[in-house]
Structure 1
């Protein structure tokens, strides 16, 4: 009886690791995009606020901040509730 060959990239663990990597990539890109929007608009961002955005791992919160970046007058206003 022929034995089925399992390749690493078909392994369930490998699939999970790839999906986690994609999720992390989406989060990192959303944080960078939020900062880029502020930069494009000429709004200065201090290092403390920059780190706060880059350290966030909540995709929904980053989405809110990215939308706010389109209209805020100051970077600090991203975080107002």
Structure 2
């Protein structure tokens, strides 16, 4: 019979918790990106396809939070991203 003790070990639980934390952070980033799109749409601010992709693929929740705060007062997408406007990545 195979030794399955690793799956209930503290190390295994730590690895699972790190994965859950990463997933939660990515979920927050995605939700913030979607909120920015809703906010800009409601305010009639046009965005490029590259900007839309940048918002929907961002996995950094703190960066997305910064963008969301900027989006509250921005009148253009450029004001949200500044020098970090999408470069096609």
TM-score (structure 1 length as normaliser): 0.70
Root mean square deviation of aligned Cα: 2.4
**Unmatched segments (≥5 aa) in structure 1:** 1-7
Aligned residues: 75
In structure 1, distance between residues paired with 2:36 and 2:29? 11
The structure whose residues are more often helix, as a share, is: 2
Structure 2, unaligned runs of 5 or more: 1-7, 84-89
1:33 positional shift: 1.0
1:18 correspondence with 2:41: no
TM-score after normalising by structure 2? 0.65
**Distance between the aligned counterparts of 2:56 and 2:28, measured in 1?**
12
For 1:45 and 1:32, locate their aligned partners in 2 and report how far apart those are by CA, in whole Å. 13
Shift of 1:31: 1.1
2:66 partner SS:
helix
| Partner deviation per Cα, 1:1-38 (whole Å, 9 max, x = no partner) | xxxxxxx8xx6144443333222211111111111111
